[in-house]
Structure 1
Amino acid sequence: MDKILRYLENPDFVRWVYKPNGQNTIFWNEFQKDNPEEIGIIREAKTILLRLKPKKEILGPKIDSALPSIILKIRKKQQIRRIRQFTLSTFKYAAIAVLFFLTGLFIMKERYSSAIDEMSRQYANISYYNGEESRLVLADGKNIIISEKFSQIRYNEKGTIIIDQNDTISQNISGNNPMNQLIVPYGKNSSITLTDGTKAYLNAGSRLIFPPVFEDETREVFLVGEGYFDVARNPHKPFIVKTTDINVTALGTAFNVSAYPTESKIEVVLAEGKVNINKNEFALIHVTTDMTPNDMICFNKSTKKMDLKQVNTENYTSWHLGYINFESAELHKITTKLERYYDVNIFFENPETANKKITGKLKLKADIDEMLKVLATTSTFKIKKINEHEYLLN
């Protein structure tokens, strides 16, 4: 924690996170290149600051005066305890997702709290990211490592698990509302067929918490990261994807949810069928927003507002088919997807380059070097390989 606080208490670092400009972005990019051992800590610090960012915009001169209140928030007892429990100094910045995600889960539904709390204690010291393998964590204590880059998991109606069409695993289902977890680190992808026949594709850096068998009146799962859901139709038992901020309810349809904690927005894109969205909050009356095919809901985590618009769904869902389609997309948004998919870091020599808009289609090849050559050709920039996990775009 002390290593993270060095950055949280550094006014120059806070200015860069809250009010980035060409000069400070170049400085911190160079600093990370010269100090690669600090990259993980810097990303953790950035994530914490973004989560604690005040609703009102902080102007440059006021950043210093805002620091005490920010540090005070960080030092609150509950946050310190959770940060220590998850040993954040050993995690890649995406592990912060687990912390805030689980915190949100505790207030979503009381009956799931004990199961999730127990799992978080059991596996608190496991690093889920940064070169790790995918894993399936069962409620009965089994921790199944999945080494394949692209894995397929299927549950039959009785809850028996079949991994990559070869390994069959039986699970002892006992206790009240047992919950399993599928954890997919950066550099990996996975699909899982649940007991009701619903198929979920999990993108890199994602986690799905779900029951081994749907026994209640609804089929509820919890998502952090990104998932594409092809929901098996059951008009008598709605399928609900819960995130930290919103819930997506469907009877039988296909849609994509992107809910990475490091992102400022949650995006839901509907490919077919119909779903409705409501905020995940305590309220006497829940207001829902209905979606139809080609709709996208963009939920702003800061303002708590939803924006509904029509989009080309292929630009948001094609990743689960093995390619990325983009139309007039900012370059940094594309590189962020590639960083997660391949578990690498891509830096920009010129910060203005990050905002350049490009159009194209990238097939997600196994070879990251080959992929980046295609991106460089598409964007008319050059890619320089720094080491096995770091690249510079100039």
Structure 2
Amino acid sequence: MYQKYASYLLLDFISDDFFIHSVKHPSPKTEAFWLEFLEVFPHQADTFVKAKQALHLLSLSAKQETNWEDYKEIWDNIQTELETKPQRTSLYKSYKPWIRWVAAATVVFMIGVLGWLYYDEKNSAINYNNLVDAAKKHHELEEIINHTSSNVKVNLPDGSMVTLESNSKLSYVKGFRDNKREVFLVGEASFDVIKNPSKPFFVYSNRLITKVLGTSFKIVSIGNDGDVIVVVKSGKVSVYPNVSSNETNTMESKGVVITPNQMVRYVEAKELLQKSLVEEPVTIIPLEQNKDFVFDDTPVKEIFDRLSKVYGIKIVFDEHILAKCTLTTQLQTGNLYDKLNIVCAGINASYDVVDTQIIIHGQGCN
């Protein structure tokens, strides 16, 4: 892989995805790679350093207005380098009639790089530390850090309860004096929120916002740049990406709403919200109401409707095809999927979990 960079010029480096990522997000692995590269190809040291400097300058320029003359100067410098590099002199002369087209294309490329760098820096700034730093400019915060190996109970000012798991941090606005309740989380925590429609509850976990009026849910937010998972136990929450304040309303309308036994994962690398059922759905009505899970020659429509109500999960099937199907069974034990397996086996059917629904496939009964 080193050979690829042996003859790179400045423009080659600053348009290379791996190089860009290495400069903007250095790690021990990438640092070791480039050190070894420079040991093998020491003649590239000067160009390598200039490329790193160019990326940093471009990053700064992305935050400021830059006029056409500035881009022209950038191109002139690159063009000068092309003319002075001996290994590419003949190639440059052969294509010199196209130099104006190349210049224009390079300006377009540079504008794209500036936009990408600005977008990358703007979004990478949305993590627990920076969110808390920004909030401290307007509010006094209380921070709880769980350094222990067991869970810590945190009582919030409104009476809501947070169970903060090991190696997790939670910050919240003291007193919740404004018209909303805001907390910030990195790590893992379960929330039991006191209902207050006039004062919505917000949890900021890296690049994800969870908005709720009153419910019980769990959030897993690992590290400053990892994915975020929200699981609802009761009630309903709205989940949407964290963006600049002038876009919040738009992003909230594009978010997802999840209910009990549903979860959403925010995939940071793809900026994608993935909604699904939890791995093991639980009943959402009191257990004493489940004691009549005994069926005697009962139409399967009634059994599926009962399961759907008890677990709060939509079960989709063709009522016409399954109209003649009945079943005698007991379903007091086992989880939801155990119950579905018993019912489907009894009527020669099968099921799939699609998004947050369960789809029944069957040929009917005689």
Please indicate, yes or no, whether the TM-score normalized by the shorter chain is above 0.5: no
Which fold has the larger relative contact order, with Cα–Cα distance below 8 Å and residues 6 or more apart in sequence? Answer: 1
- Using the size of structure 1 for normalisation, the TM-score is 0.39
Larger Rg: 2
- Using the size of structure 2 for normalisation, the TM-score is 0.42
